[in-house]
Structure 1
Amino acid sequence: MTPARSLRPGSQAVGAAAFLIFVAAAPAFVIYQAWALRHEERAAWTVAGPDCPTVQPAAELFGPQGPRTFSYGGAQFSRRFGHASCAAPQDGGLIPGETFHVCQFNGPAALAVATSKGVIYFKPGVGRPATVTIRGGEASCVVGGWFRT
């Protein structure tokens, strides 16, 4: 009979330490992934560009067929032409912050945005993309965006 081999005393401690590091790192990795996805979405939907011109409401703003209207995030959006894509990214770092709403339009010509603070009319121009962001009930618009259809 051969005697059983015993592990060196230090190898058990190293194995236990490696296991504890793995157990501690797994939640940190999940948290980092969630933060990175939130940061990436917020960056993708934050569009820089010149402000959309604001105009007074007029009957001809949306043409004889009238506006194409939809509701999203507690606001009502009306456009003359094109398509829209919307999202609700979150502000904040590791701790999620407030959600804001943003819609991109691929060539609306004219927009009307109704929120709890009132209605505002934008005229980015024919064939020009526009991005409307709503934070705290206030709508803002920039000419630009990556949404195309």
Structure 2
Amino acid sequence: MVAVTAPPAGRRLSELVGVGFFLVMLATLPAWLIYETWSLQEAERRAWDISGPPCPVVAHGAAFAADTPYEFSYGGARFARRFGHASCASPLGEGLIPGDPYRVCQFTGPAMVAVATERGVTVFKPGVGHRATVTVRDGKASCVVGGWFGT
């Protein structure tokens, strides 16, 4: 007859600790993934939150009389500029549960930027050689002189 003996107490304890650690890690994985996603969205929002003086607004008729501007559509808005390049992003709105995306476009020395949304056309004149950042939230366009694109 073979005698069955219980494993030593230290071995049993280490097995329980190992199983417990695995279960804790398994339970925290969703929280870690949620935090990782939120922090990436927050970093994008901060990177595209450009501050600076507001761009002057000009009358729509005076926007592009002399030449044909560069035009493109992004996120339901139409953008036009005279010079330079553009880079756009769609960060999500602030909050623990992110809101709807909004549109942000940076321009390298556009001279003028026209933005057409469902609320109408707004023309900004940041000036020749000045960077400009245009934000469109809820169909309303705003502009500041400044940005990091093209540096």
Q: Give your verdict on TM over 0.5.
A: yes
Where 1:62 maps in the other structure, the secondary structure is coil
AA in 1 matched with 2:7: S
Q: Say whether 1:6 aligns with 2:7.
A: yes
Could you tell me which residue of structure 1 aligns to residue 53 of structure 2? 50
Give ranges in structure 1 of 5+ residues lacking alignment. Answer: none
Q: Which runs of 4+ in 1 moved over 6 A?
A: none
Decide which of 129, 140, 143 is 2:142's aligned counterpart: 140
The equivalent residue for 2:103 is 101
Larger radius of gyration: 2
1:70 maps to a residue whose letter is F
Task: Kindly tell me the number of residue pairs found equivalent between the two proteins.
Answer: 148
Aligned to 1:128, the other structure's residue is in SS state coil
User: Whole-Å Cα distance in 1 between the matches of residues 142 and 45 of structure 2?
Assistant: 16
- Alpha carbons 1:48, 1:144 under 8 Å: kept: yes
Structure 2 unaligned spans of 5+: none
Residue identity in the other structure for 1:6:
P
Identical aligned pairs, as a percentage?
Answer: 55
Q: Is the 8 A contact 2:60 2:121 kept in 1?
A: no
Partner of 1:34: 37
* Cα RMSD after superposing both structures: 2.1
CA contact (8 A) 1:100 1:133 kept: yes
Using structure 2 for the length normalisation, give the TM-score: 0.89
**Counterpart Cα distance in 2 of 1:4 and 1:124:** 84
